[in-house]
């Protein structure tokens, strides 16, 4: 099996309320494609942008900002997007977002937006992915899967990698439990996070500075599914590190 990763370049910034599908459909889709779209353009299209000058920091945000030498207005936005703080150390703030993701700064991002502004994660990334998939089916007649990706750090390993925060039309995890390996041994725990792997592969083509916020993954065989990115979140009672 040979998998293609096809870049979709956008020549300008996405605006609030813009018909993103119309821009994406300038690239021809095929049935069975997987569209991977960065969180950033979804957030921009959905208006998930904050002007920090309008933010009034709380006493907690001011206290953390003083201790960690961080902008209290930025910290207030991070806190407002968080369900709880998991850990703060060495100037790094790890939180659980309202969507259940464990990540730095609640996904609040200052990159690729004007100075003084930040983007937030989509309110419901799975719903965003589903809406995009349904619009593409309606306008092009092509049945595809959609993943929304974002860049996360990883415990115990340096560097970041792209992960799926929104999933529609494909399983998030490929479960090998109960199947046999090449030596006939029964697999008991192997579950591959294919949605994350696809997003990570896509980032090799996207980069961060190339104006390529979306790709098409072609020729990866999958069974259509109603799964969501929530399947990728490890339950707290199974998490050894929380």
Tell me how far apart the alpha carbons of residues 109 and 120 are, in angstroms, rounded to a whole number. 7
* Chain segment 73-91, per-residue pLDDT in tens: 999 999 999 999 998 888 7
Judged against a pLDDT cut of 90, whether residue 5 lies above it is answered with yes
Tell me how far apart the alpha carbons of residues 20 and 35 are, in angstroms, rounded to a whole number. 13
Is 35 buried (19+), middle (13-18) or exposed (0-12) by CB count in 10 A?
buried
Q: Domain 49-120 adopts which CATH fold?
A: CofE-like fold (3.90.1660)
Tell me what the mean pLDDT of segment 102-129 comes to: 92
- What 8-state DSSP symbol labels residue 234? P
What are the boundaries of each domain within the chain? 1-48+122-233, 49-120
Give the chain's mean pLDDT.
Answer: 90
Judged against a pLDDT cut of 90, whether residue 37 lies above it is answered with yes
Judged against a pLDDT cut of 90, whether residue 129 lies above it is answered with yes
Q: What is the pTM of this model?
A: 0.91
Judged against a pLDDT cut of 70, whether residue 178 lies above it is answered with no
Contact 163, 152 (CB under 8 A): yes
| CATH ID of 1-48+122-233, from 1.10.10.10, 3.30.70.3270, 3.30.1330.100, 2.30.30.90 | 3.30.1330.100
| Per-residue pLDDT at 89 | 84
Judged against a pLDDT cut of 70, whether residue 174 lies above it is answered with yes
């Amino acid at each position: 099996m040979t998998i293609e990763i096809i870049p979709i370049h956008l020549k300008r910034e996405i605006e609030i309320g813009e018909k993103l599908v119309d821009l994406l459909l300038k690239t021809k889709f095929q049935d069975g494609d997987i569209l991977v779209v960065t969180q950033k353009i979804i957030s921009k299209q959905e208006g998930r942008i904050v002007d920090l000058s309008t933010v009034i920091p709380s006493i907690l945000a001011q206290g953390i900002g003083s201790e960690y030498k961080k902008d209290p207005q930025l910290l207030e936005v991070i806190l407002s997007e968080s369900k709880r703080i998991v850990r703060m150390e060495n100037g790094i703030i790890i939180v659980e977002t309202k969507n259940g993701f464990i990540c730095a700064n609640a996904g609040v991002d200052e990159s690729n937006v004007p100075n003084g502004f930040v983007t937030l994660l989509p309110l419901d990334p799975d719903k965003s992915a589903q809406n995009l998939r349904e619009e593409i089916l309606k306008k092009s007649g092509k049945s595809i899967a959609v993943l929304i990706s974002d860049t996360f750090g990883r415990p115990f390993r340096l560097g970041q990698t792209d992960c799926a925060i929104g999933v529609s039309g494909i399983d998030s995890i490929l479960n090998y439990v109960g199947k046999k390996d090449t030596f006939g041994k029964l697999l008991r725990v192997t579950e591959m996070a294919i949605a994350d792997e696809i997003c990570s592969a896509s980032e090799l083509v996207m980069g961060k500075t190339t104006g390529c916020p979306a790709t098409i993954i072609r020729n990866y065989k999958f069974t259509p599914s109603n799964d969501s990115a929530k399947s990728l979140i490890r339950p707290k009672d199974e998490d050894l590190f929380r």
